[in-house]
Copies of this chain bind each other. A is one copy, B any other.
């Protein structure tokens, strides 16, 4: 008899038949006596449809009204789901974010969950009902509807699990779990059975899309056992849990890559205090998020600065950097948008030395030049030419024996 929170994404509830299938799956748990709380996204495509309606009304749609609009997507799926459960002879009740209530900040379209009232949910669970909650939405202190941003339903589910002290939180999606790397480019990619919160955070921040990064942070903070699995098959997925000895014995847990960045370099900058701020402030002011930064000092009090930005902001960043170069007397600006970031992640790195150098060696062996390196306690990232991405991923996956779960 556990309390289980399950979240189903848009592709899992994209039409009435799929909603019925999800209801059947949830009923399987109810029949075993579990208390079920189900969090649903909007039907896939619906949020985009609503956003495009908004864009046809106003160039920069008002964010308060945007939230009133896009929160309808989840409102539709939760009511249809409750009907499907009732049609199957079981009882269910749906709740919107402002009915639960899920209290959030007032930052429309990007609100943060601040608190959740669980009394209503608990009382309906006690009455034997499946409680269905709209993902992605909440209410601020003035009673306005808010939304949590893309991927927000994952966060709703984890926050509910934390507030209810649920035994587990299951995120149902269209893949079977978290993989050692992208199965589309590496046929020996393997589904990971257990991964630590910190590793999952790194993977999510490096581009793995299977879980929203905020939900992982929340799960870590409240120690909510997270289970990422497929809606369409019954097999176990990946458990995201607290770090343990077994995980530490693995050198590397996963290999990931990101092709959505571009590199910019400003060369032979007179190296004076405050120079980094002069370079990066105008770029930040333009709303561009900088990822990696590397500084090389040259002879003669000159320095080179290389950094990466999202590829969509590449042209804007380059334009700004060229102006800055003139202002601060730099000699040259160079750039490339045909780059990729390849990363290895694993808590084992904390206790094993030489993992980074193994990575560099593997890439060198394949004739791949490394342009930038960035490390954290549990990951190493290398920027390389984009065309080598797949080769690099496969070589690293192989070198760290990720295809074989028995050999750490």
Contact = CB atoms under 8 A, between A and B. Distances in A.
A79 B66 contact: yes
A68 interface: yes
A226 interface: no
A82 B59 contact: no
A69 B76 CA distance: 5
Nearest to A57: B83
Interface stretch (A48-56, A295-303, A372-380): A48-56
Contacts of A144: 99
**A interface bracket (residues with beta carbon within 8 Å of B):** 35 or more
A333 interface: no
Given A65-B83, A68-B96, 17 more contacts: A16-B56, A20-B57, A50-B76, A53-B80, A54-B79, A59-B87, A61-B83, A62-B83, A65-B79, A65-B80, A65-B82, A65-B86, A69-B76, A69-B80, A71-B75, A75-B75, A99-B143
**Copies per assembly:** 2
Interface of A: 16, 19-20, 50, 53-54, 56-59, 61-62, 64-66, 68-69, 71-72, 75-76, 78-80, 82-84, 86-87, 93-94, 96, 98-99, 143-145
A137 to B, nearest CB: 12
A58 B76 contact: no
Contact of A80 (B54, B64, B75, B99): B54
B86 A62 contact: yes
A68 to B, nearest CB: 4
B57 A68 contact: no
A105 to B, nearest CB: 18
Contacts of A79: 54, 65-66, 68-69
8 A-B pairs closest in CB distance? A68-B79, A69-B79, A57-B83, A72-B72, A58-B87, A58-B83, A65-B79, A16-B56
A68 B56 CA distance: 26
B72 A75 contact: yes
Nearest to A75: B72
A66 B20 CA distance: 16
Nearest to A134: B68
A53 B86 contact: no
Nearest to A66: B79
A85 to B, nearest CB: 9
Contact of A68 (B16, B54, B75): B75
* Most chain B beta-carbon contacts within 10 A, residue among A20, A69, A79: A79
A68 B96 CA distance: 9
Contacts of A50: 76
A143 B54 CA distance: 28
A69 B59 contact: no
A82 to B, nearest CB: 5
Contacts of A94: 65, 68
A19 to B, nearest CB: 7
A126 to B, nearest CB: 16
A54 B79 CA distance: 8
Given A65-B94, A68-B96, A94-B65, A57 B84 contact: yes
